[in-house]
Amino acid sequence: MSPRLSFSWRVARARAARPRTGSASDTLPRVAVSRLEGRQDSRPDTDYRGMRASSLGPRPRVFPIRRPSIKVPGGRRRSGGQGADPSPVNTKELSPMEFKSLACALSHTTAAALLACGSLASALAQEPYPARHVEVIVPYAAGGGVDAMARSFAREAAQVTGQSWSVVNRDGGGGLVGFTALANAAPDGYKVMFSPASALTNAPFVTRTMPFRPEQIEPVCQVFENVFALAVRQDSPMRSLQDLVARAKAEPGKLSYGHAGPASVPHLAVAAMEKAQGLRFNAIPYRGDGAMLPQLLGGQIDFGAPALSSIGGKNLRVLAVLSDKRHPSVPEVPALTEAGFPAVTPGLNGVYVPAGTPRPIVEKLQGLCRQVLDSDGFRKAAQTLQQIPTWLPADAFKQRIDRTYRMHADLVPGLNLEKQ
């Protein structure tokens, strides 16, 4: 018998001859008893640890080998002759044949699970979509412009599909709470998000630890651009953008303003204003316009930077549009760039799903978005909310998100914003 085969043969014989009692902590003796050429192994206890089997010589030492075991509920465990262990878990050793059977069973179970996952994805792709209720996550508080647009979207989607659609507000963290909920949702198309892309384009630059990875989110389509504005109460002494700037210079740090959360478009826009002309405001973040506007109307803050879609019907005066051009819904209001301030991109509002959603479902949802945008109900709601529906399919929407991210990579670090 060759030395290589002898080594494997002696290990197998030693394992087979081992009594099947004791605990998993018991090991084979440091020198194994074997039958090689009819002799007892009496080599000295030399340490062969780390040597290859092919170099061990004709009668190598057998390494200690732990025998496979499983834990069985109930009973007590014996521990190397030291008496009974009061642990309520019993460790049962497996014979080589039992261990092989268990390994085979586990491998078949794993294969079946993987096959089932593939079958589930295939079934999801082939069934009509949607076949049941769809939940629309909005990462801001109820009552704001994004929330209102999302509810109009859900109503029209229900009309088109014949299935129920409902809006769920998961607000907080400037949209990060809602995006995290979407990232952790099942990728089956029955949890979608209606939101600006600021958690993807802005938040990475002002957040110490992102609670999700951008690649966990799959953009489906752009629905509209959310344009923001600077607004005050109708009874405010500040009646123009120039009045606001003059007071900010006269009383540095005294004027307070509200925005929709860290890294939101209005937060970055006002920070860029501060840097451009040496202004200093007291910034107060809220969980969306729905939470901020009551504070503005109640006089707790001096001005706000809400979306135009949130201002309609409120007792507010718009001082400037946070854009590089005037908005058709308020053509008399100047754009921020007209006063020499830098502009930031508007909120790229769209629909998103968890990454891994089957491609056929993404395509069906994209087609559904286009149908909703073309519906009379959605267009009337957008007009009431001073928004302009803006359609972009998935690929073009992703490209625009990427361009905005790169632009903010140049802009945001220079604003010296404290990371949250």
Report whether pLDDT(79) > 70.
no
Same domain, 234 and 334: yes
Same domain, 391 and 312: no
Q: What is the pLDDT of residue 98?
A: 55
Whether residue 410 is contained in a domain is answered as yes
Report whether pLDDT(27) > 90.
no
Q: What is the pLDDT of residue 3?
A: 42
Q: What is the DSSP letter of 342?
A: P
Same domain, 201 and 246: no
Count of domains forming the chain:
3
Whether residue 140 is contained in a domain is answered as yes
Output the six-digit token pair for 419.
């990371």
Whether residue 82 is contained in a domain is answered as yes
Last residue of a domain, one of 293, 317, 339: 339
pLDDT of 157-210, one tens digit each? 999 999 999 999 999 888 999 999 999 999 999 999 999 999 999 999 989 999
Higher-pLDDT residue of 129 and 82 is: 129
Same domain, 216 and 153: yes
φ/ψ (deg, to 5) at 309: -65, -15
Mean pLDDT of the chain: 79
Cβ-based burial of 306 (10 A; exposed 0-12, middle 13-18, buried ≥19) = buried
Enter the pTM of the model: 0.66
Last residue of a domain, one of 318, 339, 360: 339
pLDDT of 248-282, one tens digit each? 999 999 999 999 888 888 999 999 999 999 999 99
Same domain, 10 and 59: yes
Q: What is the pLDDT of residue 102?
A: 55
Q: What is the pLDDT of residue 38?
A: 43
Q: What is the pLDDT of residue 126?
A: 66
Percent of the chain at pLDDT exceeding 70: 70
What is the CATH number for 218?
3.40.190.150
* 192: containing domain: 134-226+348-415
Q: What is the mean pLDDT of residues 309-331?
A: 89
Q: What is the pLDDT of residue 81?
A: 44
Whole-number Cα distances in Å, 385 to 29, 82, 160, 277: 81, 78, 22, 32
| Interior/surface letters 230-262, b for 16+ CB within 10 angstroms, e for the rest | bbbbeebebeebeebbebbeeeeeebbbbbbbb
Whether residue 120 is contained in a domain is answered as no
Same domain, 212 and 360: yes
Q: What is the pLDDT of residue 215?
A: 95
How far apart are alpha carbons 193 and 356 in whole angstroms? 15
Q: What is the pLDDT of residue 233?
A: 97
Same domain, 221 and 247: no
Same domain, 247 and 381: no
Q: What is the mean pLDDT of residues 20-48?
A: 42
Higher-pLDDT residue of 374 and 414 is: 374
Higher-pLDDT residue of 93 and 51 is: 93
How far apart are alpha carbons 275 and 271 in whole angstroms? 6
Same domain, 253 and 283: yes
What is the CATH number for 266?
3.40.190.10
Q: How confident is the model at residue 42 (pLDDT cuts 50, 70, 90)?
A: very low
Report whether pLDDT(211) > 90.
yes
Report whether pLDDT(84) > 60.
no
Q: What is the DSSP letter of 187?
A: S
Higher-pLDDT residue of 312 and 242 is: 242
Whether residue 71 is contained in a domain is answered as yes
